Structure formats: C-alpha cells, structure tokens
Structure 1
Amino acid sequence: MKINMGAADRAVRLLLVAVIALLYFTGNISGIAAIILGVLAVVFAFTSFTGFCPLYYPFKVSSIRRNK
C-alpha cells in the first residue's frame, strides 16, 4: 500500500470520525443510521491512520502535495 492521502485529507476524515462519535454517544443518531455512520467512521479512521484510501487507488488519485 502506497500512501495516497495528504495531511489535510486525513485531518478532515478524523474530524468526521469525531463528529460521528459525538453524535452517537450523545444519542442524536441511532438504529440503521448509527450502524451505517459507524461503519463509515471505522473506514475513515482506518484510512486516516494508514494514509491509504483504496478508492483513490484505481483512479490514480493522490491528495499529497508534491513540491515541484
């Protein structure tokens, strides 16, 4: 796995994970919405910590800034 996510991309995903967790633990989301958003949060957390997004790979997308 080659890193294809920049720092800003990773930070936004971690922020979304925090928001989803906050909504869940305060009881604002429940049921199917909580399950779907929970799975999404786990995926976002995993991709943020590894720096690799599997959906970027087939399209050869990278959010890493490259100095020229």
Structure 2
Amino acid sequence: MNKNMGAVDRWIRIILGIIFVLWGIFIATGVWAGALFTLGAIMIVTSLIGTCPLYMPFGISTKKK
C-alpha cells in the first residue's frame, strides 16, 4: 500500500484516536462504547501505517510531494 497520509493528518488521527478509545472505555456505555473504541482503534492503526483506505478510491493524499 502506498502511504497517502501526511504528518499533520497522522498526528491529528493519533490524538483523536486516543481520545475516542479512552472515551469508549471510561465514559460511554453500550453500543456507543464499542463504536467509539473501534473508531479510535482504526484511526490509530491507519495513522501508524500511514495509509487511509478511504482515501484510495478518491485519489486523496495529504502527503506532501
């Protein structure tokens, strides 16, 4: 997979991902807890690998050339 995420995009996703995971664990309940945890985990993983699968079909890249 080609990397299509820039540094700023990756840092924003890591920060929001951590917030969502913690929110899902400690604050939210029921379905919302699972949804927030899953969304946060996906954001963290995509930022760590530097590739967003949703960007690919649209040809989006936040990475500087």
* TM-score, normalized by the shorter chain, greater than 0.5: yes
Query: Percent identity of the aligned residues?
Result: 37
Find the counterpart in structure 1 of residue 58 from structure 2. Answer: 59
Q: Report the TM-score, using the length of structure 1 for normalisation.
A: 0.85
- 5+ unaligned residues in a row in structure 2: which ranges? none
RMSD: 1.2
**Structure 2 residue identity aligned to 1:47:** T
Q: Which structure carries more helix by proportion?
A: 2
- Is 1:24–2:20 an aligned residue pair? no
Query: Which structure has the larger Rg?
Result: 1
- 5+ unaligned residues in a row in structure 1: which ranges? none
Aligned residues, how many?
65
Provide runs of 4+ in structure 1 moved above 6 Å. Answer: none
Q: Higher relative CO (CA 8 A, sep ≥ 6), structure 1 or 2?
A: 1
Within a 5 Å distance, the mapping from 1:1-68 to structure 2 comes to: 1-25=1-25, 27-66=26-65
